[in-house]
Structure 1
């Protein structure tokens, strides 16, 4: 497997020199400074790639080439947005960058309520608290329909939290929820979020699927022509939030997506943490079912609570059997290699590490500390080495 590292370019407080010391060989990045919907100019792509190569890396995956919210809403004449997207694809392909990770989550990207929840042995992690999210929806946004989305116990806990919270607590909650949008050019307060949600009124699961299928039909043929691989990132969390449907949360969703436009160019980013937050998902089984269409992997782990809350666990100690999952990916690599596929290696990156030691002082993007991810990478590297030495017996 190809070790990679997510790097936010000029926005990142972790330098490529720092990344080199982790042992990772490849970079996953994007032009986060370019507003959604605009063309990524080839010269800027080339400049970013040259800097990455000068530091001793290759740019192995784009994460992400964002999809404009109007496309997700199927709002108005989208021909210009689709044309811009295809031109950005062509410019990336011209520079030899041919794997694109993206998501189709409406309005928000990954969502957490706490950016620095304490970890038992020291350090902190990202956490999604169902009661806090319910408090945001019910009592800060006034979305009464949210009562149908949470259990009675969670709603009671949400009300208790809200009554005890200060204005600063509520502001911190809103900041945490907004922090999953690196590079996005919009951040919302409560009133702004209400207005943004209003634009999604009437868009249910069936409608969002139809909008997504249109995106795939517009983009995947271009990807085929360019020799590119698209790989959708699962929803995080894998459940509806804020009344917005999430349609990439389980094996049935993935099957629908891959069949909607049945092409090798239409693939999956295997995110172990996102899928692992759904108690109904058997993540290693999902890997084996869709292995031939997995072009990229995010390896992280979560620990779930019965009320729907979850938090980032250490990479090898959460609810998902990471050793079995990696074994499944190595088996797929072996199959590709035996079939003569020259591009058989699956790039992966350690995802959402704990903040450890002096990580907090760096003030990096939430979930993307240096030391915590380096620990995760070292653990994953050890599992890969051990399974490879043992011959990765089939499960």
Structure 2
């Protein structure tokens, strides 16, 4: 397993020197400043590679940009509207430029409108640190009474709807404003004052798009880009929905093993693969993460390793980001399944036998609590998670000959 670290570029409060001290073997990054649908030019790709390859003092870092997360898929592509065909052409051209630069793994997602959703970005946990949290009652209160989406009350079980009314009535203006801010934080453009009117407008554009239709659009997209990815030796891997159940009336098509299998079967190619995110998928009690790794293993090209604690039964549920060895996913069993897949690939002679992983999210602890970094990406919390994952990997591989 190649141990990587997500980096948001020069503005990230975690620098290249910090990543070196963490002992990472590769970097996961993206050109976040390039608008969705625009070309990733060779010049901008090379600039990011130089930034990663250079320490603070100007010396070589010895690490490289190994995984792209994410090369965004535009809303036009997802809806098959507007400039969607031109956007596919541009996405394919960006992929070629990345291949020319020696980067072969691209993570992307096909979530409509939302990138991720939480109702609290700094929820206090028992030890005094903080974690991101999704509270289904708070979310229902936002959907029904703040966003005022048509039909929202019918989207939740009656018990949740009743609790949401009581919860909302007990909120003061500041709490309501904070809930609205937190909930839209995962929408692209939220940092640029994404208004509730903007949210309503984007949601309305999906009123007539069912899950089956969105899946057809995704397979159409993959049918256009996967043949070129095969030619280039690229690996594309789709991130699951976060959380993995319908929200705001939007279709969700990458939430379960069956969802993934339909996508993999729709364009049957080794280049069409999976980003196995144990945190996103772990928010459903019917997702068996070690089993999914075993069954989907040959097509798993990237790993996000984190854990969540489900606070309520069923789907949808409330949950919060747990410690990496806490929560509902058996991380030891999952990493054993990853190791078995890598062993199988190595025996087959696959060049991509080592699967890149990154410690995803993490709780804000110690010095993290005084920082104002990217939500969900603390320095110390991720270091702790990576150390715990390394301990599991060392135990699993103890006594084996190094490849």
* Matching of residue 330 in structure 1 with residue 333 in structure 2: no
- In 2, Cα distance between equivalents of 1:207 and 1:68: 16
Larger mean Cα displacement after TM superposition, 176-185 or 365-374: 176-185
Superposed, 1:146-157 pairs within 5 Å as: 146-157=152-163
Partner of 2:36: 36
Unpaired stretches in structure 2, ≥5 consecutive residues: 55-60
Partner of 2:49: 49
- Deviation string 1:43-83 (CA, Å, 9 cap, x unpaired) is 11011112212322121100000011111111134221111
Q: Is the 8 A contact 2:272 2:299 kept in 1?
A: yes
* Matching of residue 188 in structure 1 with residue 194 in structure 2: yes
Larger mean Cα displacement after TM superposition, 17-26 or 319-328: 17-26
- In 2, Cα distance between equivalents of 1:95 and 1:198: 39
- In 2, Cα distance between equivalents of 1:156 and 1:22: 47
Q: 1:298 to 1:9 in 2, by over 3 A?
A: same
- Deviation string 1:103-139 (CA, Å, 9 cap, x unpaired) is 0000010110000011111100000000011011111
Unpaired stretches in structure 1, ≥5 consecutive residues: none
- In 2, Cα distance between equivalents of 1:344 and 1:294: 10
- In 1, Cα distance between equivalents of 2:37 and 2:193: 17
- Deviation string 1:127-153 (CA, Å, 9 cap, x unpaired) is 000001101111112224233332222
Q: What is the number of residues matched between the two proteins?
A: 392
Within the candidate set 363, 378, 383, 2:387 is matched to 378
Larger mean Cα displacement after TM superposition, 317-326 or 216-225: 216-225
Partner of 2:294: 288
- In 2, Cα distance between equivalents of 1:148 and 1:241: 12
- In 2, Cα distance between equivalents of 1:255 and 1:67: 20
* Matching of residue 277 in structure 1 with residue 283 in structure 2: yes
- In 2, Cα distance between equivalents of 1:391 and 1:154: 51
Q: Aligned Cα RMSD in Å?
A: 1.6
- Deviation string 1:232-260 (CA, Å, 9 cap, x unpaired) is 00000000000001100001001001011
- In 1, Cα distance between equivalents of 2:335 and 2:400: 13
TM-score (norm 2): 0.94
3-state SS of paired residue (1:358)? helix
Partner of 2:58: none
- In 2, Cα distance between equivalents of 1:391 and 1:43: 42
Partner of 2:321: 312
Q: Is the 8 A contact 2:136 2:318 kept in 1?
A: yes
Q: Is the 8 A contact 1:232 1:267 kept in 2?
A: yes
TM-score (norm 1): 0.96
Partner of 1:343: 352
Larger mean Cα displacement after TM superposition, 38-47 or 141-150: 141-150
- In 1, Cα distance between equivalents of 2:209 and 2:177: 28
Superposed, 1:69-218 pairs within 5 Å as: 69-181=75-187, 187-218=193-224
Shift of 1:22: 1.2
Superposed, 1:50-65 pairs within 5 Å as: 50-54=50-54, 55-65=61-71
Q: Is the 8 A contact 2:69 2:107 kept in 1?
A: yes
Q: Is the 8 A contact 1:297 1:349 kept in 2?
A: yes
- Deviation string 1:202-221 (CA, Å, 9 cap, x unpaired) is 11111111111111111111
3-state SS of paired residue (1:109)? coil
* Matching of residue 352 in structure 1 with residue 358 in structure 2: no
Q: Is the 8 A contact 2:109 2:239 kept in 1?
A: yes
Q: Is the 8 A contact 2:146 2:180 kept in 1?
A: no
Q: Is the 8 A contact 1:33 1:183 kept in 2?
A: no
Partner of 1:369: 378
3-state SS of paired residue (1:27)? strand
Larger mean Cα displacement after TM superposition, 349-358 or 154-163: 154-163
- In 2, Cα distance between equivalents of 1:221 and 1:145: 41
Shift of 1:196: 1.5
- In 1, Cα distance between equivalents of 2:324 and 2:8: 22
